[in-house]
Amino acid sequence: MDGTFPIGARAVSSDVTFLAIDPSTDAKIEPAFAVSSQDDIADACSLADAAFDTFRETDPEARAVFLETIADEIEAIHAPLVARAMQESGLPQPRLEGERGRTTGQLRLFAKHLRQGTWASVVIDHAQPDRKPAPRSDLRQRRIAVGPVAVFGASNFPLAFSVAGGDTASALAAGCPVVVKGHPAHPGTSVMVGKAIQAAVAKCGLPEGVFSLVQGPANELGAALVNDPRIKAVGFTGSRSGGLALVALAAARPEPIPVYAEMSSINPVILFPAALAARGEALGKAYVGSLTMGSGQFCTNPGIVVAVDGPDLDTFVEAAAAALGEAAPQVMLTPGIHASYEQGVAALAGHDSVETLARGIDAEGANRGRAALFSTTGKAFVADPALSHEVFGAASIIIRCADLAEVRRVLETIEGQLTITLQIDEGDHADAAALLPVLERKAGRILANGWPTGVEVAPAMVHGGPFPATSDPRTTSVGTAAIERFLRPVCYQDLPDALLPKAVKHGNPLGLPRTEG
Amino acid sequence: MDGTFPIGARAVSSDVTFLAIDPSTDAKIEPAFAVSSQDDIADACSLADAAFDTFRETDPEARAVFLETIADEIEAIHAPLVARAMQESGLPQPRLEGERGRTTGQLRLFAKHLRQGTWASVVIDHAQPDRKPAPRSDLRQRRIAVGPVAVFGASNFPLAFSVAGGDTASALAAGCPVVVKGHPAHPGTSVMVGKAIQAAVAKCGLPEGVFSLVQGPANELGAALVNDPRIKAVGFTGSRSGGLALVALAAARPEPIPVYAEMSSINPVILFPAALAARGEALGKAYVGSLTMGSGQFCTNPGIVVAVDGPDLDTFVEAAAAALGEAAPQVMLTPGIHASYEQGVAALAGHDSVETLARGIDAEGANRGRAALFSTTGKAFVADPALSHEVFGAASIIIRCADLAEVRRVLETIEGQLTITLQIDEGDHADAAALLPVLERKAGRILANGWPTGVEVAPAMVHGGPFPATSDPRTTSVGTAAIERFLRPVCYQDLPDALLPKAVKHGNPLGLPRTEG
């Protein structure tokens, strides 16, 4: 591996470099990676803009083949890619192998979606020349790519939400050139994937500006990217402060642009009485499994559990505390994330209204995330908004409520969420149904008798939700509907067939599904 | 007519009142209308929030009947409504009769769209319990209403873009309660329509909070409405400064919300050489017809014409100048709009690089809009962004370009537009095709051999476009796709059928179209 990054067809180097850190040891990892300059960002955006008109009008089949070629190129470097990602993220091999499969799987899913064609939303209103009092024109609507897109790699999915992750896959599928700002925690992984995409661009004969990667540890790079007038939308997964900063930058541009930021969620799990009575112990164990998986570094990690207090909840708590007490420490993604986690856990442990129920096994070594389980009352939770702030990692609070009315008040108090989970038996259906309208207002996904971690990449998935779970609840960042973030409608009125784009030509040469009236 | 306004089921009065002005005479019109207080706005939002969960889960058929009932109620007051709207807007009777038909027509179109069901975007991924390595859950996606919506009435369509206009119709269709801030130029028209909606709410047995109307001349009222935490989206049609102010307010809320503002457009018309040679004179006349219709007070008014200079363009200019010289003055909507128009025209007339080609007939009387036709060069237009600012009214600039390359530069210079129009003959197809990618980036609707005024309310229509034509180019404010602005996706994972909303129940009791996989 060299330390260059791909801008269009070039490999760019620099005298200014930075090194990745192995979070399991805090040691620096070779090689040094070139830091992108403001000129590199301008070059990437200029190439993206130059590529846009050609790329957006490629046939859907051509873009599908391109996405599949990217998947092939990533598969071809599977072993070294997973090895490098392990070093840079501290994540274990099976997890990264699964994530590699998810990454190539979602590229292929978007290829399938492109061929299916509903994404283009073609609607045709045929002319009615004899209509009274006035004739109707021929109107043809399709959706086109919005323009070059900036994507910010996420630290917690160095493959599936990073350089060739869901944002990039959906933007490329839409026909948008992409400039990725690689996450500085995994520059080697980013460069390997970036060069795989670069190779796919060349193999498919596409304009070089379809893809570039910029790198570096400074926030200013990302700001320059979002401020470039050629960028027309932004995809981001990360912290609330980071997401809100990008939203503010984008809104302050002379031409404001949409930011799709997936930011913050505590993913409430509600234990209903009958379910709790029937299987409190099993639920307690399963909950800790979901909580501690991957050191809790998921946006869908269950950060609060809400239930009516009583002996059944005690059973759940005992089982959860016992399981958590045996949870092995796991390396967290970065020293910064580990420090924030420790700080968040310490704040909860020191909170007057919060009881520490259990901590995971302590261990020597750098950046080990030690799980933490807390409890508080519904009244205390409602009274202090700080208790509803996300602590990124394997920390969670069990909220003991006086009754179901207090459960409802807790849910009414929380901000927007990615997910809300119900643990229910048949005897709980009436109570759950009564609460459902509150939950629908709060979350993008409502699930029963499962756990929020593990987000299926599928057409019906919604990985999104009301603010601050995301900056735009009208969309999803996982699943095929993610493509809609990067499309806008255009209507063609009375254009001669020779001038109509293929998607809306009279003969329908692309064979796209059409709604006609 | 009394001076009260409807908040839920009540008729609210106040000691603080304001009067409408007849723009044809500058005289005040009785009766006085109550000015809404901050408490009235809070009441309206509180009722809307209380109505939300019930209203959004009404069957699509129930909402369709509701929209049709609103249309019936408006038709029942046709004659007095049109009479009052004439007084308050200065618009002529045939225009307002047509607009009344458009208003009830679009309510009925949304009713039809609700019954058709694709708006709910139901996608079902069936469970795959035997999938390896992990089973797949049952995932069901539908779109639900975003919450109570604030709608700002527009001055230039006192019926079709006002209290029961496209924003209200699409928000109600989506299942969102609506609080309208009536435009202060036509309070009587607003109250009559508002009470018609109030009557329809009662007749359909819906919660009273489904609709309220607040009134008053101060901008603070609108700001209070947008800042109310129960409001979840905003629809606006009006000036760029007004729209941007609402966008800024909405972005600064603790929970930011989307604003759909349709703001500013100069709707370029491009005359291609063959078309100009074949029918320059006819085009010149037709252009002035589109320009002066309704005193030019349309968001799709053709504000610039772009063409290659030469004798054929001279023919067009002569015909246009002659037609415009005979254009009768028409009463403009408000004294403020008339004053802004005069100011905009004076600025163009005094501009060093602009030549005044013709003015319409002058006349005595208040607020008469006198048409104005200017010309400049492509070079001058590109050099001075001020020349591309919208002058709301019947003013337009013909831009003489040295060649088609300069036509392209002019188009590349302009900001986002609602429409771009091509006048083309077969000999122009190659030139037009080469320019099309630029136009698609700039406009929501591209039309050939017609005029941009006259926006069909139809499924394929796009009345939207890149900033600053709108604040959100991903949508349209006219046509059935406008409903999408007020919906967000929710995914239900493994919910028992008893808890699933009707839209995604296994038996499909609503009969909605589904994409299943």
Q: Distance (Å, rounded) from C-alpha B252 to C-alpha B247? A: 9
Q: What pLDDT is recorded for position B23?
A: 98
**At residue B1, does pLDDT exceed 90?**
no
Instruction: Calculate mean pLDDT across residues A215-229.
Output: 97
**At residue B494, does pLDDT exceed 90?**
yes
Nearest chain A CA: its distance from B484 CA (Å):
9
- Partner residue facing A139 (CB), from B449, B456, B493: B456
| Digit-coded pLDDT (tens) for A316-349 | 999 999 999 999 999 999 999 999 999 999 999 9
| B489 neighbourhood in chain A, CB within 8 Å | 444, 462, 464, 474-476, 481
Q: What pLDDT is recorded for position A288?
A: 98
Substitution target in A491, A494, A512, A516 with the highest count of B β-carbons within 10 Å is A491
- CB contact under 8 Å between A459 and B251, yes or no, is no
Q: What pLDDT is recorded for position A86?
A: 98
Q: Tokens 């050629």 sit at which residue? A: A230
Q: How far is CA B416 from the centre of its chain?
A: 15
- CB contact under 8 Å between B460 and A491, yes or no, is yes
Q: How large a percentage of chain B has pLDDT more than 90? A: 98
CB A143 within 8 A of CB A491: no
Q: Tokens 């679009």 sit at which residue? A: B106
| Digit-coded pLDDT (tens) for A272-292 | 999 999 999 999 999 999 999
**At residue B257, does pLDDT exceed 90?**
yes
% helix / strand / coil in chain B, to the nearest 5?
A: 45, 20, 35
> b/e for A190-205, b at 16 or more Cβ within 10 A?
bbbbbbbbbbbbeebe
Q: What pLDDT is recorded for position A95?
A: 96
Dihedral, B348, B353, B355, B356 alpha carbons, nearest 10: 10
Mean pLDDT of chain B: 97
Got the DSSP string for A228-287?
-TT--EEEEES-HHHHHHHHHHHHHSSS---EEEE------EEE-HHHHHHHHHHHHHHH
| Digit-coded pLDDT (tens) for A236-259 | 999 999 999 999 999 999 999 999
**At residue B277, does pLDDT exceed 90?**
yes
**At residue A133, does pLDDT exceed 90?**
no
Q: How far is CA A157 from the centre of its chain?
A: 9
What are the residue numbers of the active site of B? 262, 299
Q: Distance (Å, rounded) from C-alpha B78 to C-alpha B81? A: 5
| Digit-coded pLDDT (tens) for A57-90 | 999 999 999 999 999 999 999 999 999 999 999 9
Q: Distance (Å, rounded) from C-alpha A254 to C-alpha A232? A: 12
Q: What pLDDT is recorded for position A1?
A: 80
**At residue A143, does pLDDT exceed 90?**
yes
Q: How large a percentage of chain A has pLDDT more than 70? A: 100
Nearest chain B CA: its distance from A27 CA (Å):
35
CA nearest neighbour of B333 among B197, B162, B168, B219: B162
| Digit-coded pLDDT (tens) for B293-324 | 999 999 999 999 999 999 999 999 999 999 99
- CB contact under 8 Å between B491 and A462, yes or no, is yes
Q: Three-class SS of residue B177?
A: coil
ipTM reported for the complex, 2 dp: 0.97
Q: What pLDDT is recorded for position A8?
A: 98
Query: CA quadruple A55, A56, A61, A63: dihedral positive or negative?
Result: positive
Collect all residues with Cβ–Cβ distance below 8 Å to B349 and sequence separation of at least 6. B356, B372, B374
**At residue A308, does pLDDT exceed 90?**
yes
> CB pairs below 8 Å between A and B: how many?
209
In a 13 Å sphere around the CA of A291, the CA atoms on its Cβ side amount to 36
Instruction: Calculate mean pLDDT across residues B178-200.
Output: 98
Q: How confident is the model at residue A187 (pLDDT cuts 50, 70, 90)?
A: very high
Q: What pLDDT is recorded for position B363?
A: 84
- CB contact under 8 Å between B491 and A445, yes or no, is yes
Collect all residues with Cβ–Cβ distance below 8 Å to A144 and sequence separation of at least 6. A56, A175, A487, A488, A490, B440
**At residue B444, does pLDDT exceed 90?**
yes
- CB contact under 8 Å between B499 and A118, yes or no, is no
Gyration radius from chain A CA atoms? 24
Burial of A509 (0-12, 13-18, 19+ CB in 10 A): exposed
What are the residue numbers of the active site of A? 262, 299
| Digit-coded pLDDT (tens) for A383-420 | 999 999 999 999 999 999 999 999 999 999 999 999 99
Nearest chain B CA: its distance from A183 CA (Å):
27
Dihedral, A282, A286, A287, A288 alpha carbons, nearest 10: 110
What DSSP element (H or E) covers B363?
A: none
Q: Quote the strand ranges of B290-438, DSSP E.
A: 304-308, 330-331, 355-359, 368-369, 372-377, 395-401, 417-423
CB B77 within 8 A of CB B196: yes
Q: How large a percentage of chain A has pLDDT more than 90? A: 98
Structural domains of chain A, with CATH: 38-129+136-263+472-516 (3.40.605.10), 269-448 (3.40.309.10)
- CB contact under 8 Å between A489 and B462, yes or no, is yes
Dihedral, B349, B351, B355, B360 alpha carbons, nearest 10: -10
**At residue B133, does pLDDT exceed 90?**
no
- CB contact under 8 Å between A445 and B498, yes or no, is no
| A136 neighbourhood in chain B, CB within 8 Å | 456, 458
| B118 neighbourhood in chain A, CB within 8 Å | 515
> b/e for A140-162, b at 16 or more Cβ within 10 A?
bbbbbbbbbbbbbbbbbbbbbbb
| B448 neighbourhood in chain A, CB within 8 Å | 493-496, 499
